[in-house]
Chains A and B, each alone.
Chain A
């Protein structure tokens, strides 16, 4: 028999948002206590040059941590499980991978208590945005090693009826594109759209989830566009960037009567941030994170300092919960820094885009 470790803050009610400092301090005690921390973090502790239990109290303090996410490609994923969960039934929800855009995928472990907390939060967010209850969903989303499919499945169980899934393998698409085989990627996208068409034509879908490129392919087809416009109440996009012009066109011209809601997530924070409610088609698309568990900062990548509100910078993400500690991860995305909603910590982000590549290489030869 092992002692079950409970912590008043980390194990607080699933619908309670803890105070920033209370959460961070409790999490530092948990992850760096030899009885409860994960083998991964306990091994790191000596190399940090500071004592997290003494020195880390706020979201801003998390910037002192090194970015460890690259190590998640190689460490045994079981070492990520905090020892404090030992002996608890069904403690592990699952192990998931990052997309694998750059190099081997990074592994993360999701514990069941985090999934419960995330689902309660998701449920509230969807209520606030009038997602219908009890309807059928269609998700064009990666399952298998990817966390997103699992979250969709749980969400449908929680508040939907039937969840139709069309699977997709983002790694294969990236491989095709990297190999210069855009035609193969096109063919694959057509294959997914064909499966989605079959569902949309025969089922009464109330909520549709898709990546922006797949959503665009769906609505390029006038028949599918009409089907979606007539039946679907909420279209949720995520998993890739949506440029402001396409978002504007979707909301004003293509699907003017459908609610179109964005989600900005990362496997590395075990969550996603939903689009702020009430934004107009031409407003910046703002995402508010599930703080203080999941927080963003928008920084100048050179100095690491925050950029002024309204300016562009690189996104840094933190995840702090009983389930995991994933601090100070500099993402490859750029965003506008936005003030968080009242009472929330960290930054909100707007108009997220891939890091801009400046300067086309100059074409020199030829007259054109």
Chain B
């Protein structure tokens, strides 16, 4: 019984271009089992200058529960149909007008709302397209080799492992730090899950665009849902779904870490270690690891450890990073992320408070720099700490901010632990053995590879399929 009130379906509008300051608000309706739902409780989504750009329809708990019940009751599409729809959706997401926004209008709006450099948004759009094209193949990378996909496989006649879902409905509390976070969860659709996404209020556009495209490509309204909520209702999505993925900091890890039905995507705290290597030769990789993607990603380097000349390294990084220009995010050449002024000021205070006792090499007097059109750029920061185990090396912030630390073999791998990515520039095999064996380090890149290196067929933080699927024995005549 879908809602069919006059307000339930948004009227078609002629939206003015992004340069028109009188442009209508982008309406981000919830996308539930009854189609688009424009709620009475709408959250204004503003740009860097505080001007409203969009309105997000926040849905109440009852809507969430009914939507997830509808997803659970629905049958998944056939595997072939799922993969075809994912591919079609990827193409339209990346090349067509979706939800009344062209690709350019979408990218512009995301950069104005989130402050993400527009080139990063465009690149993420391409990445997401490729991820949707390959979602079926990539998801299956996690399948144990001894198992088959379908119980009809002749192998089950003698008894065989079959790879099956652990549940039916998968919920995602998405992050708003980077539009690329939406490249991962579509793998769940490839595996036959029905998926409910709660967008981040920091950047709710990408999920809306992607889910609109998925629906147009063949996923029914009972297959994938867009459920914006306030904080109070957010937990209801996780409670109602079978499995969930949640992005967040240490607080989220503490809240859900022990729950076997929740996959926590916690802090990245990616790091680089130079041991027995001359940092001068790797400066490009170091700078890119810190500043690529605007420094907003969990795979950006938060700390660099070196066994030789940390002072010289910090100074060289500072010099290179200082050359990045301050530009508004919608400028094609922009590299740095921007934020609304007040929010950035709080971030700056936090950084400077926590940097007390360290040696500032860049950004010690502040990191904010006003940009045309409102808001401020977050300029790079380089701080040198005097011990490998300085607490600051774990402080990950959403812009190019790095802590340079001394490291000696006697420090061991302790300071390198708890890393999403660790780039190890070393030939010490015994050290590499320890790093690869350590369960708190998710990925190890050996040699001159940036921390942000990714390919969808290798795990990002384990394979999503490891969490979503299980094996069971099927034996038949």
Contact = CB atoms under 8 A, between A and B. Distances in A.
Contacts of B60: 243, 245-246, 249
A315 to B, nearest CB: 20
Interface string B379-395: 00000000000000001
B34 A253 contact: yes
Interface stretch (A25-33, A44-52, A214-222, A321-329): A214-222
Interface in A319-368: 360, 362-368
Nearest to A249: B62
A365 B65 contact: no
Given A252-B3, A365-B396, A366-B267, A216 B61 contact: yes
Given A244-B41, A252-B3, A360-B231, A368 B175 contact: yes
Given A220-B62, A250-B62, A253-B3, A368 B248 contact: yes
A154 interface: no
B40 A367 contact: no
Interface stretch (B77-85, B343-351, B467-475): B343-351
A244 B343 CA distance: 31
A164 interface: no
Contacts of A254: 1, 62, 66
Contact of A243 (B41, B178, B343): B41
B309 to A, nearest CB: 29
B63 interface: yes
B2 A245 contact: no
A230 interface: no
A248 interface: yes
A246 B232 CA distance: 14
Contact of A245 (B1, B63, B65, B268): B63
Given A243-B41, A246-B60, A367-B296, A253 B1 contact: yes
B3 A363 contact: no
A344 B178 CA distance: 56
Interface string B41-82: 100000000000000001111110110010000000000000
A368 B172 CA distance: 13
A366 B65 contact: no
A249 B63 contact: yes
A222 B1 CA distance: 12
A272 B250 CA distance: 45
Nearest to B348: A364
B447 interface: no
B61 A367 contact: no
B347 A244 contact: no
Interface string A81-114: 0000000000000000000000000000000000
Contact of A246 (B62, B231, B249, B252): B62
B177 interface: yes
A34 interface: no
Contacts, number: 93
Given A216-B62, A249-B62, A253-B34, A367 B2 contact: no
A216 B65 CA distance: 9
Nearest to B65: A220
Given A252-B5, A253-B34, A367-B398, A362 B343 contact: yes
A7 interface: no
B295 to A, nearest CB: 8
Contacts of A363: 249
Nearest to A362: B346
B39 interface: yes
B7 interface: yes
Contacts of A364: 346-347, 350, 397
Interface in A217-257: 219-220, 222, 243-246, 248-250, 252-254, 256
A248 B40 CA distance: 9
Contacts of B178: 367
B63 A367 contact: no
Interface string B119-148: 000000000000000000000000000000
Contacts of A222: 69
Interface in A129-162: none
B297 interface: yes
Contacts of A170: none
A367 B41 contact: no
Given A220-B69, A360-B231, A367-B296, A253 B346 contact: no
Contact of B395 (A243, A250, A365): A365
Contacts of A252: 3, 5
Interface string A279-292: 00110000000000
With a 10 A CB-CB cut-off, give which of A222, A254, A365, A368 has the most chain B CB atoms: A368
Given A245-B40, A282-B7, A367 B267 contact: yes
Enumerate the 9 nearest inter-chain pairs by beta-carbon distance, A residue then B residue, closest first. A366-B249, A368-B175, A244-B40, A367-B177, A364-B350, A246-B60, A367-B398, A368-B247, A245-B39
Given A243-B60, A282-B7, 13 more contacts: A220-B69, A244-B40, A245-B63, A246-B61, A246-B63, A249-B3, A250-B62, A252-B5, A253-B2, A254-B1, A282-B5, A282-B40, A367-B300
12 contacts: A216-B62, A220-B65, A220-B69, A245-B58, A248-B40, A249-B62, A249-B63, A252-B5, A253-B3, A364-B347, A366-B267, A367-B296
